[in-house]
Amino acid sequence: MTTSQTFPGPAAEIGVIGGSGFYSLLDDAEEFRVDTPYGAPSDPVAVGELNGRRVAFIPRHGRDHRFPPHAIPYRANLWALRALGVRQVLAPSAVGSLVAEHGPGTLAVPDQLVDRTSGRAQTYYETGAAIHVPFSDPYCSTGRRAAVDAARVTGWDPVDGGTLVVIEGPRFSTRAESRWFAGQGWTLVGMTGHPEAVLARELALCYTPLCLVTDLDAGVDTGEGVTMAEVLEVFHANVGRLRALVGDVVTRLPDERPCACPNVLDGMKLPLELP
């Protein structure tokens, strides 16, 4: 494996951001250390081939899980992927379920997001111009369809749709909070899906979540509540299956993007130059 500071052209077309327990993806990969205006990404970006496609991989928390959810360099991660040529992003993550019937081991591909974080930098356009990106549908419709279809073919029947509420963390929810989230009709709870999704939209990237349910959230389950050990145990038991699914989705993503994502910045005068 080699490292590099520069790259003469697009190095990858698809990006994967791995969640808790998902620290590697590619064999025989080349590592790129990408400098960004927002500091270094969570780790050097690994680039290699996966099912005939050029893929870039970043472990969201770092390979040693050193970044808690509120401290992940989200802006650097997405900027680095775009700088390497990535235009479509798959985002596996561990989540809790707010619905009793969707227990541990369930795969969900939500279609909506609610932000309950605080204090995280969540835009590239802080000064110089008022840039308002459309976000009514936060995830790529083409990517979601590819993910759902790929899962069904493998026999991992996914939950197609639902709402992911993203909390600040790093603590888990209280029972009262969990019951409140469920009472709003939200179905999943996690800590990392925002600002990741909106930053991808601000860079005109396609972004598709792949949510692995690791636990029933505190207000759904009558047990002792969620623990980190429980989350990692379920994730580790399913990470091989999740890696295989990522490869299957990669093969289904189109070469040319037919969705609205590439055009979200059309007509806007940006205050910075995108990579």
Quick check: is 6 in a domain? no
Contact, 20 vs 235, CB < 8 A? Answer: yes
Q: Which amino acid is at 161?
A: G
Catalytic status, residue 157:
no
Phi, psi for residue 88 in degrees, rounded to 5: -130, 130
Contact, 171 vs 198, CB < 8 A? Answer: no
Quick check: is 52 in a domain? yes
Quick check: is 195 in a domain? yes
Catalytic status, residue 217:
yes
User: What is the distance between the alpha carbons of residues 102 and 71, in angstroms, rounded to a whole number?
Assistant: 29
Quick check: is 265 in a domain? no
Quick check: is 272 in a domain? no
DSSP state of 22: -
61 is in an annotated binding site: yes
260 is in an annotated binding site: no
DSSP class per residue in 97-150: ESSTTS-TT-EEE-SEEEEE--S----S-SSSS------SS-S-HHHHHHHHHH
Q: What pLDDT shows up at residue 23? A: 66
User: What is the distance between the alpha carbons of residues 168 and 114, in angstroms, rounded to a whole number?
Assistant: 12
Quick check: is 275 in a domain? no
Contact, 97 vs 213, CB < 8 A? Answer: yes
User: What is the distance between the alpha carbons of residues 45 and 23, in angstroms, rounded to a whole number?
Assistant: 12
Please report, to the nearest 10 degrees, the dihedral formed by the alpha carbons of residues 131, 133, 257, 242 taken in order: 120
Query: Total structural domains in the chain?
Result: 1
Q: What CATH number does residue 106 fall under?
A: 3.40.50.1580
User: Packing angle between helix 74-83 and helix 193-202, nearest 10 degrees?
Assistant: 40
**Residue bearing tokens 């969201």:** 60
248 is in an annotated binding site: no
197 is in an annotated binding site: no
Q: What pLDDT shows up at residue 22? A: 74
* Catalytic residue (choose from 149, 215, 221, 248): 215
3-state DSSP assignment of residue 17? strand
191 is in an annotated binding site: yes
Q: How many helices (H) and strands (E) does the chain have?
A: 5, 12
1 is in an annotated binding site: no
Q: What pLDDT shows up at residue 42? A: 96
Range of the domain at 209: 14-256
* Catalytic residue (choose from 43, 115, 217, 248): 217
60 is in an annotated binding site: yes
- Cβ-in-10-Å burial (0-12, 13-18, 19+) of 75 comes to buried
What would you report as the CA-atom Rg of the chain, rounded to the nearest whole angstrom?
18
Count CA atoms within 13 Å of residue 61 on its CB side: 19
DSSP state of 152: H
Quick check: is 1 in a domain? no
Output the tens digit of pLDDT for each of the chain's 275 residues: 344 445 545 789 999 998 766 767 888 889 999 999 999 999 999 999 999 999 999 999 999 889 999 999 999 999 999 999 999 999 999 999 999 999 999 999 999 999 999 999 999 999 999 999 999 999 999 999 999 999 999 999 999 999 999 999 999 999 999 999 999 999 999 999 999 999 999 999 999 999 999 988 876 765 566 777 777 788 788 888 999 999 999 999 999 999 999 999 999 999 999 99
Quick check: is 95 in a domain? yes
| Residue 197 CB coordination number (10 Å) | 27
Nearest to 198 by CA among 209, 189, 207: 207
